[in-house]
Structure 1
Amino acid sequence: MDTEIPPPPVEELTRTEGLWFEDCGLIIQAETKLFRISRDFLAMRSPVFGDMLSMPIPENAEMMEGCPFVYLPDSAKDITHFLKAMIYSEFFESVPAKTSFDIITGVLRMSHKYEVDVLRKRALIHLSSRYPTTLHGWDTMQLACTWYHDTPSQYLEAILLARQTSALWILPIAFYCACTRLDLEDIITGLGGHTLDAQDMVACKLCAGKRLEHRRDAEDWRNSHISPLDIWDEDDLHNLPVCDACRSQMKPVHQLARESLWDHLPAIFHLPSWEELVQMKVKAL
C-alpha cells in the first residue's frame, strides 16, 4: 500500500467506535483513527486487500497489540463509511433507502479503490439519482433522490469523484449545477478543499461572463474602426482578467478567427481567391 504520508504519533491515535472488535486480528490506521477488524472478512470482500493480506508476514513487520498493522493513506472519514458499509448491512442500503452525500462519496471512493464492486455499484446508483441522465429524471429528482441536500462544494466534489471513478455520466448535470449555482471565484479557487483541474474549469464554461465582456469590447473596437486583425495582441491576451485555463483556450480561438478573416478577405472585397492572386503575383514578378 502507499505509505508516503507519515502516520501521526501513537499518542494521538483513537479507536473507532463500532469498528474495533477485540476478537479480530487486523488493525488498520487511517489518519488518527484505528480500526480492528477481521483479516479474512476484509480479504474476502476486497480483492485488493486479499492480495495484500495473502502475503506472508515478515518477521520484522510492524505489529500492534499482537496483530498485523496496516497504515492506509486514505481519509479516516472515508474508511469509516467504507468499513461500516461492509460490516453493517443497514448502514448503507440500496435505493430508495436514505443516506447522505458524505457516505456515498466515502463508500464510492474506497470501494472503487479497493474493488468492492457491490458497494461501488450501490454508491453509483445513489449518486446517479441526484445527477440523472434524462430530463424526466431531472424533473423528478427531488422525489427520487433520498439524500438530496445541496452544499456549494458538493458540485465540485461530484465532478472530481466522477472523474476519479470513471462515472462520466454524472458530469453533464454536475457541470450544469456548478455553472448555474456557484460563483465564478468559487469554481476557480475551489470549495471545501475541492478544486477542478483546468480541463473541467473550461468545461464548466469558467470565465464565460468575462469572455463575453471582452468579446463585446472587441466588437466595440471593431465598430470604432480598429482593424479586426489588430484586436488583441499577445500582450492584450496576457493581461485579460481571466483564468489561465480560459486564456489558453482563447488564444487559439483568437488566432483561428484572425486566420479565417484573412482567408475571407478576397471574397469580402469581391476579388479572386488568395491562390489566384498569388499566382498573379508570381507571374508578374
Structure 2
Amino acid sequence: MADDSRSTGTDGASATESTAPLTRSAEYWFDDGNIILQVESTQFRLVKSILSMHSSVFSDMFTIPLPAYEPTIDNCPVVVLSGDTAQDWTLFLGVIFPKSYSTKLPPFRLVAAMLRLSKKYDFPLFRHDCVRRLKQEFPTSLAEYNKVSNRWTFLTTGGQSIKLAVISLAKEIGLPSILPINYLLIITDYKGSAMQKILDPNNQSVNASDRIACLLGYTKLLKLQSTTMFAWLNCQENSREIPSETCSRRHHCTAAVSKIFVDSFNPHAEVWILSGWNEDWDSDLCSSCGEKAKGIYDAGRETCWQQLPAVLGLPDWE
C-alpha cells in the first residue's frame, strides 16, 4: 500500500525531514504539477490526474481531504513514499511521462522498477505488460523456450548478468513461474558469474534457498539427464541403446559413444537440458544410431524439463 499519511512517512516524520538534503528532481518537477511525491531525499512535482488515471491507489489517496494544518511546498501537498527508491521512481516516471516515442526493448532494471511500483501502487497496465514480457522471456514450456533460446527477445540486460536479480524480483512480486528456468540458466552456465556467486559460501548477498536450489539441482539434474537424455550413452551390455538393432557400423558406433561421452562430459559434467541435439554427433554415428539417439535425447530433454520444478524444490509448472 502507498503511504496514506500524505506528508508523513511510516515513521511519522515530517515530509521536510530527511537524513539527506532534499533535492528537486531535475526531470520530473513540473511547474503546473499539483502534488509532490517525496522518495528518499528526492522530490517529484507531478500531476494528480495523470497518477490517478493509471493507479487506483493514488486515485483513492487524492480523494482524502487534506487537513488544514498540513504543510505544503509551492502550495502543493507532499506525500512521502516510504520503502521506495528514487531510482525506481525516476525510471518509472520516464514511462508515465515519456519524452519521446521508443520501440526499443526495455532494460531489465526498468522492468523491475515498474513491477515493484506497479504492484505496490496498483498500476495494472504497466504491471501486465511487464509480467507478460517476463513470462515470454522465461517460459514454462520447452517448446516456447526453444523459440527464444539464448536470445534476449522481450527485454535487454545492458550487458549485465541478471539471473540472480530476476530470481529476487520473482520472489518479491510473486511470479514463481519464472524461477525454474532462471535457476536452470545459472546451473547450465557453471562458469558464469551467477554460479560463482552461488558457490561462494562467504557471499552474504546470495539467499540460502537460492544456493541450495542451484547446488542440489545441479547434482539431481546430472543424474536425471543420464537416465533420460543420455541413456543412449550407456555402455553396459544389458542396457545399451547404441548400436541400434539396424546399425550398419556396430564397431564404429560403439567407439563413437565412448568418444561422445568423453568429449561432452570431460573435464566438467554439464547440464544439457537447455541445449538441443548436437549435430556433430550425427557425423560420429551411423544414420540409424543417430536417429535413435536423437529420439532418446529429445524425449529425455522434455522429461527433464517437466521434472525441473520438482528437482529444484518448487511446485510443478501448473
TM-score range, shorter chain: 0.5 to 0.7
Higher-helix-fraction structure:
1
CA drift of 1:140 comes to: 3.3
1:134-158 superposed Cα distances (whole Å, 9 cap, x missing partner): 3243333216334255523x21221
The aligned amino acid for 2:141 is T
Unpaired runs of at least 5, structure 2: 4-8, 223-318
Aligned residues: 202
- TM-score normalised by the chain length of structure 1: 0.61
Corresponding residue of 2:35: 26
CA drift of 1:162 comes to: 1.0
Unpaired runs of at least 5, structure 1: 213-285
CA drift of 1:101 comes to: 0.8
For 2:147 and 2:158, the matched residues in 1 are separated by 15
Could you say what secondary structure the match of 2:70 adopts?
A: coil
Query: Any residues of structure 2 matched to 1:1-285 within 5 Å, and which?
Result: 1=3, 3-4=10-11, 8=18, 11-17=21-27, 19-73=28-82, 74-88=84-98, 97-141=104-148, 142=151, 144-149=153-158, 151-152=160-161, 154-179=162-187, 180=189, 181=192, 182-186=194-198, 195-196=206-207, 198-205=208-215
* Distance change >3 Å, CA 132–CA 195, structure 1 → 2: same
* Distance change >3 Å, CA 168–CA 91, structure 1 → 2: farther
For 2:106 and 2:169, the matched residues in 1 are separated by 17
Could you say what secondary structure the match of 2:88 adopts?
A: helix
- TM-score normalised by the chain length of structure 2: 0.55
User: Conserved in 2, the CA contact under 8 Å of 1:131 and 1:170?
Assistant: yes
* Distance change >3 Å, CA 33–CA 149, structure 1 → 2: same
Greater mean alpha carbon deviation, residues 63-72 or residues 3-12: 3-12
For 1:125 and 1:136, the matched residues in 2 are separated by 17
CA drift of 1:186 comes to: 4.2
User: Conserved in 2, the CA contact under 8 Å of 1:16 and 1:34?
Assistant: no
For 1:92 and 1:168, the matched residues in 2 are separated by 30
User: Conserved in 1, the CA contact under 8 Å of 2:54 and 2:123?
Assistant: yes
1:107-131 superposed Cα distances (whole Å, 9 cap, x missing partner): 1111111111110011112223432
* Distance change >3 Å, CA 14–CA 190, structure 1 → 2: farther
For 2:101 and 2:177, the matched residues in 1 are separated by 26
Greater mean alpha carbon deviation, residues 141-150 or residues 76-85: 141-150
CA drift of 1:72 comes to: 1.1
For 1:157 and 1:35, the matched residues in 2 are separated by 27
Could you say what secondary structure the match of 1:16 adopts?
A: strand
* Distance change >3 Å, CA 57–CA 5, structure 1 → 2: closer
User: Conserved in 1, the CA contact under 8 Å of 2:186 and 2:214?
Assistant: yes
Could you say what secondary structure the match of 2:26 adopts?
A: strand
1:220-252 superposed Cα distances (whole Å, 9 cap, x missing partner): xxxxxxxxxxxxxxxxxxxxxxxxxxxxxxxxx
Could you say what secondary structure the match of 1:138 adopts?
A: helix
CA drift of 1:183 comes to: 3.2
User: Conserved in 1, the CA contact under 8 Å of 2:21 and 2:41?
Assistant: no
* Distance change >3 Å, CA 184–CA 55, structure 1 → 2: same
Higher relative contact order (CA 8 A, sep 6+): 2
Could you say what secondary structure the match of 1:22 adopts?
A: coil
CA drift of 1:132 comes to: 2.2
